[in-house]
Every structure is written in C-alpha cells, then in structure tokens.
Amino acid sequence: MSKRGPAGGEPRVIRLLMELRRLGVTDAAVLGAIERVPREKFVLPQFLDQAYENIALPIGEGQTISQPLVVGLMTQALELNDRCKVLEVGTGSGYQTAVLAPLCRRVYSIERHKSLLKTTEARFRDLRLTNVTAIAGDGSRGWPEQAPFDRIMVTAAGTKLPEALIGQLAVGGVMIVPVGSRSSDQEVLRIRRTAEGYHSESLFPVRFVPLVSDSEEKRA
C-alpha cells in the first residue's frame, strides 16, 4: 500500500471515514477535512501501519496523537466556519490542528513540550498549513495577546474547567474541553459564552492525557 500522496482515496482512509460516520461524525466538512489530512505524517515511524486505525498512538514525551473519532466528534461539536479565529491548547502532533485549519480562518495553537512543537512545526511547513501559528507555553493561561477567540479547542484534560480560557472566548463563542479528575472519569464539555457568563453542556466520555499547568507542576 502506498504511504505517499493525498490521504483521500486510500482503502484504509475510506474504511476509517466509514467507521467515523457510523460512530456519529456526520458533518460533511469535518469528514472532508479528516479525509484530506495524511495522518501517517503525524505518527512515529514505528506506527505507520496503524496510522489510519481509529486509535490514539504514542508521539513521544508520554503524549499521544488523539483518536480520529475523538478528533471528529470534538471538531464537529465546535461548530466552525471560515470566519473563526480558533485557539487550540495542546498542539501535540498537530493532527487536530491540521483538521481544524481548513475549517476556520486561523488557528493559534499552544504546546508545552518544546521538543514536540519543533517536530510539529516542521510538519505544518511540509503540509503548507499557512493559517496556523504555534508557540510553546502553558496553554491553560490561553493567549491573552490574541484574545478574544471565536472558538477554543482543548485537547488535554484538566481536573476543572480552565477559567482563564472562558475569559478569552468571544461572546457567542464556543469552547470544547475535556474535564475530569481521573483518566477514567473525563467528559467533553461544550461551553457557550454569553453576555452574562456561560452555559456548559456535557457531550460524551473521553480519555485524554492531563492538561499540565505551570502552577500545578511547581506545586507537585
């Protein structure tokens, strides 16, 4: 099987898309974005043969590239359009970023592991993702200089809702964020920012690596 060329059209990509559709990813634009992102470029060489399986895979530093189903469901829940300015917390491999990029105006992405970010930025250049800006840092504080954001996507789970991020959401904006005290007890929340505050809605259970904020790390 060819490992080169666009992801779309390959039997293993078509199989993955059918599985995602069956499991609830119904948004055609989101499925189209997943179809066009070559996930094989985001995994470590030893996992190339599993690149289009519906599983999370290690990417180094104890982190993982998200499961395609979770990427699909979370992206769909974000209700994107091409005018959206998006903040992503937890760049990781950049796979979720690459799915977001064609569905919005610009993605600002923050990753706390500099070594991961370096590899990932090279991927963005290679794939010519010109509407992505990524930096190293603690994303739980958001990106105040670029706020407000129309959408925020958090791809690591905190024990509670990251309040600083809600403050950087535009009124009418949407945030998708996994929250939970233990890895076995997390759920994805959709936050809608209103003029008065925000509404929160629980979407589905999930398992993410922890959102590590600098202040927590110092206390630990």
Q: Which residues are identified as catalytic?
A: 66
CA-to-CA distance for 150 and 164, rounded, in angstroms?
A: 15
Minimum distance of ligand SAH from residue 122's CB (angstroms): 14
Question: How are strands ordered across the β-sheet holding 106-111?
Answer: 132-136, 106-111, 85-89, 149-154, 169-180, 186-193, 198-206
Minimum distance of ligand SAH from residue 196's CB (angstroms): 28
Q: Is the peptide bond before 148 cis (omega within 30 degrees of 0)?
A: yes
Minimum distance of ligand SAH from residue 94's CB (angstroms): 6
Which residue is closest to ligand SAH by CB? 92
The binding site for ligand SAH (CB under 6 A) comprises 63-66, 89-90, 92-93, 95-96, 110-113, 116, 138-140, 155-156, 209, 211-213
Virtual torsion, Cα 177, 183, 184, 190, nearest 10 deg: 0
Minimum distance of ligand SAH from residue 116's CB (angstroms): 5
Residue 3's nearest CA partner among 44, 53, 39 is: 39
DSSP 66: P
Q: Could you tell me if 162 and 211 are in contact, meaning their C-beta atoms sit under 8 angstroms apart?
A: yes
